[in-house]
Chains A and B, each alone.
Chain A
Amino acid sequence: MIIETLQAVMIKNSIITAFVFVAVVMWVSYWLSDKLTRGHVHGSAIAIALGLLIAYVGGAFTGGSKGIADIPVLTGVGILGGAMFRDFAIVATAFGADLDSIYKAGWVGAMSVILGVVISFIVGVVVAVLFGYKDAVSISTIGAGAATYIVGPVTGTALGAQSDVIALSVAAGLVKSVLVMIGTPFVAKSVGLDNPLSAMIYGGLMGTTSGVAGGLAATDPKLVPYGAMTATFYTGVGCLLAPSLLFMVVRFFTG
């Protein structure tokens, strides 16, 4: 009776439950950061890694696609971590950001978005060809998936790709976003990711909004507005270029 009532309360107040969930994950992570790494690995980096681990356990347990949020008592985590709240919080980080650095790096940011889409697309295309794909539609869809897990299916649908190829393109995008979340704090120093200019370039090259949001949160939250600013244009540019210009280039080479 106690368990059923508790479950019912948690489900009924799903977002409130999510607040408790996140607070506990953060508390554990900052404690681990302090005790195990003496603050060398940032608490938020541990929290994001822990979140991904929890998502894996949730996904393996339920067989669903929304990580831990597929467990009924934790559906609120799915809402709190969904696009609506994520974008709301990202916009809020812009408050107090330096307009001057964004203005100065504006065209650099724009260039890095276009180059970022093209570079990831090329990597995806090369891998698809190495794995034996020969038709322009499949190759382009996988290339688009290497951009983000939204560009992949949008491109695949537009070009009429088979559903297994579309699923592959989503998977490639997911790998990218998870890797960016975990990897960014570790490589930040060696690639000079410590100022607004390089953060804008980073956001433009990586493009995955969730990856960039998580990666910068774990590295230096002050850089979030600059990276997120360019990253939010990436998916749109990708959906524009991949099924049109980039597909035509691929078709030219595949004949």
Chain B
Amino acid sequence: MIVYGVGILAFCMLTGMFVGDLLGQIIGVKANVGGVGIAMLMLIVLSSLSSKKVQLGQLTQHGITFWSAMYIPIVIAMASRQNVVAAVSSGWLAVIAGVGAVALSFALIPVFTKLAQRSQQNQSEATEP
């Protein structure tokens, strides 16, 4: 049944949010620490298990893939409710700080990717006999 998939998805999200909130309280910050990430990990583990031991039914999977397909529409709704006026009319300090942070971060993506690939190669060479 489709609702089983939706239920599994919702359960993963609530559990992740719960753990994320607890993590935040434990390290003493007023924020959820990785709740969505933890929920995603739960779902990925579940979906990779499903190919071997636990087989999720076709309809159950539809309950999850429907919301995955709703991702872009939801992101568009998200874009439509941003405080763009504040972002555009915030004065130079905010604009320069925001643009600078984004530009530098973009520039560092290829650098970090290369470093990561190199160390992954080294690791796999080290583990091979």
Contacts and interface: CB of A to CB of B under 8 A. Distances in A.
B122 interface: no
B113 A201 contact: yes
B73 A22 contact: yes
Contact of B64 (A51, A95, A232): A95
Contact of A236 (B20, B44, B84): B20
Interface string A44-83: 1001111111111011100001111100000001101110
A22 to B, nearest CB: 4
A104 interface: yes
A253 interface: no
Interface string A212-235: 011001000100110011101101
Contact of B76 (A51, A224, A238): A51
A236 B33 contact: yes
Contacts, number: 326
Interface string A79-99: 011100111111111111101
B126 interface: no
B117 A56 contact: no
A185 interface: no
A174 B77 contact: no
A171 interface: yes
A233 B33 contact: yes
Interface string A25-61: 1100000000000000000100111111111101110
Given A93-B68, A104-B120, A168-B94, A77 B81 contact: yes
